[in-house]
Every structure is written in C-alpha cells, then in structure tokens.
Structure 1
C-alpha cells in the first residue's frame, strides 16, 4: 500500500473555488475525481480537509495512491502553485508508542440517541465545546492516542481544545443536509501505533465525505 498526503492551495477568487469552499458535496466530488474510479479503499480511504489561515485556503487530501490534481488546480487553484504530494507510508511506519505530536482535526461529533418503545434511534450532534471535547477524548481510546481537556498543565501534557465550530448546510439531491463540525487542535500522545495508523488513513468519526475525519500530525511547537 502507498498512502499519499497531498496539499493544494485553493484560490477563492475563482468562481469554482468559491463553490467548492462553500459546498462540501461539490468538494467531495472534485476530490474524488482526482483518483481513478477503481481505486481500492480497504487499506486507506479518500479523506480531505480544508484549512483557512488568514487569506490562505489549503486543501489536504489523503488517499490510497497518488492523485492527479491537475484539473482541480486548473479550476480552483493557482496555476503557479501545483499540488504537492508526499508519500505518507514512511511517516506512518515511523510512529511509535509514547511519541507526542501536535494534531489538527475537523470532525463531526455525534451520539446515537435511543428511540422510544423499540423505535429506531437517531444520530444527534454534540452542540457545546465541552460535549465535543468529551467526544474526542472518548474516541481517542480506540483511535491510538490520548488527549485531555484544554488547560494550563505546566508540564506539557497532551491537551486538546475546540478552536472552531460550524454548521455546514448544502443541498444533496432534493434535500438539505446539515453537518455540525468542530475543529480541534492540541498535543496528543501515541498509545497504540497500529491503531493510530489506521485512524490517520481511514479517518475519525462520521461525515468523512464532507471534509471531516482527517487527522494530521506535526512536530510540537
């Protein structure tokens, strides 16, 4: 398996770029089109996330092979800034228990609410930062890492915080879809390297087609 991580600069002055930045359904289709239709997603699925830093909009894509982002860059990027793709496999192989990494994640924190009198339950979103952070802490147990709530610990212990929340609303076929998202960042500690590798290539939580679930790691600041 050759997993890749791709970075694409999005130009918001372009009409197609504005559409992609405001419609996760359209962005999903554009990202998926950078890979052949017959790709095998058992070992790694296609994940994406958009980061906004000032006037810069960066699209990150993880996939099971090298994407061809030429068309996406032509329609929504900068001709002078081609997509940058790196092999992810070597980085994943180097993960070890006890390592600490700065992380970023956009997720769709939800819970299953039981139905009454045997009726089918429904999935409802967590709405407060406290609920969303608690969701991440619980998810991390099986995802191969540990984090605690944000706070001044004074010892550089793993911490996480919610830095942004949003409600994404867009049309899908004949209905309106709403996805509630939370952006997390902080420091994590690797507790199970194999489980974390799986999380990095398969995503965390739901709504992965709509820009959620892609966890990225970097050296701590």
Structure 2
C-alpha cells in the first residue's frame, strides 16, 4: 500500500434542488427530450464561461440527476456545481417551490461508511472487428441487464491499497462495497429528436453503501461524476 496516500480529503460543492410541476410544458419538454433537460440544467449557469464553450459543463463541475413521480406530477431535479446557480430563467409557474440551495463542505476519511444513490449510463465497448494495428475504436453498447450493471459498477470499486486506475484503464471510485448489498434498477432510456437523432442514453439506478478507501479519489469521483453521459443527468453520486 502507498504510505503517502492521503487519509482524508475535503469535498466542497453546491447542490440546487428544484421541485417542478411535471405537467407544465417547460418541464414536460425536458422529460421527453434529453437535450432539452440538458439545456434546463445549464440555464442556471449563464455567464460563467463563454457561450458555446465545448467544456462548459465540466469547467463548472455541473452534474445532475432527476426523478419523477408521475402520480403526483412532480419532478425533482438535483444539480451539483462548483459555482453558484441562478435559476431565474426557469418559468416561475413551472416550479412548485423556490429552488433550494445547499452548500456541501464535507471531509471524507478512509474507513467512512456512506449510503449512496447514483444514476449511471453503464456501457461496454464492442470491438470494431478491425485489425488492432488500425487503432479503430469499437462502438459503445449499453448494458440492459441488472447483473451486468452490477458487474460494471463492481469493476470500478477500489479495495484498500489498489491503484486509482486498473491495468485496463478503468477509473476507480475510491471506495469499495459489498456487491450483494447493491440494489440495481433499470430506468427508461432517454433520447432526443432532431437535430439530435440517434441520441439514446440507457440508464440504471444504483443504491447501496460505500466504504471509503482512497478519500482523494472518492472526492474526484464525486466532483467529476462516474461513467458516460454526464451531460445527460448521469454520473452524479449522492451520498448521505
């Protein structure tokens, strides 16, 4: 084990919680169009970086997750960011309550036990079939089976003393967990119509308990998200 590895790390961020009326046209459009949901999230951060900057979301550390209760017609959107959000662009009548802002300032220690929830876009790479010498990247294929999703997540767990990146290049999360204690739920795929035809984001919810093994790596994961489709409300890990 690396004796210089930090045993504590501090995580500072902002969470905005928006409770919205799922029947309102502004909200309904975001529910049926993943690109529109992305625009709704990013509307809270105008002016921090130049318009159209390709890395705007990652520069500001913007991650999000949402859940909808169709019976109650309520959508709850949680947005994490390194900079303060301004939600004045969201129509007031689309909100059922004022946006609630929480400043998170937490120090994690090796051995801490955390409950967590995350929605991820779990994928695998299908080989291109071309010669390795051509260096042609394979296609990304979503996992659709809960057991395969669990295996995908377990492959990112980091036992004490293990490196932050596997030999295969998989980035670990700075914590471990009991695989049998993980609850996996497949969620509906989200998509976007023209001009984003072909955008389809497979999603799965993972809940369970993490034990911190590398606080610095965990804070990096919490700050930057897990997996792909982070612009489309995947990859944010919420802990308690």
TM tier, shorter chain? 0.7 to 0.9
Distance 1:165 1:13, change over 3 A: closer
Match of 2:143 among 111, 123, 126: 126
The residue correspondences of 1:68-217 to structure 2 (distance < 5 A) are 68-72=86-90, 74=92, 76-78=94-96, 81-88=97-104, 90-91=105-106, 94-118=107-131, 119-141=136-158, 142-150=172-180, 159-173=181-195, 175-217=197-239
Does the CA-based 8 Å contact 1:17-1:75 persist in structure 2? no
Question: Which residue is equivalent to 1:46?
Answer: 62
Separation (CA, whole Å) in 2 of partners of 1:75 and 1:129? 38
Match of 1:21 in 2: 31
Quickly say closer, same or farther: Cα 1:210–1:41, change in 2 above 3 A.
Answer: closer
Q: Deviations over 1:156-196 (max 9, x none)?
A: xxx21212332222225152311111011111111111111
Gaps of 5+ in 2: 1-10, 50-55, 159-171
TM-score w.r.t. length of structure 2: 0.78
- In structure 2, the residue matched to 1:156 is none
Report if the CA contact (8 A) 2:87-2:99 is conserved.
yes
Q: CA deviation at 1:122?
A: 1.0
Q: Does 2:76 align with 1:66?
A: no
* 1:31 lines up with 2:44 in the alignment: no
Corresponding residue for residue 154 of structure 1: none
Q: CA RMSD in A?
A: 2.1
The alignment's TM-score, normalised by the length of structure 1, stands at 0.84
Q: How many corresponding residue pairs?
A: 205
Q: Distance in 1 between matches of 2:218 and 2:194?
A: 32
Unpaired runs of at least 5, structure 1: 151-158
Per the TM alignment, residue 2 of structure 1 is displaced from its structure 2 partner at its CA by 5.8
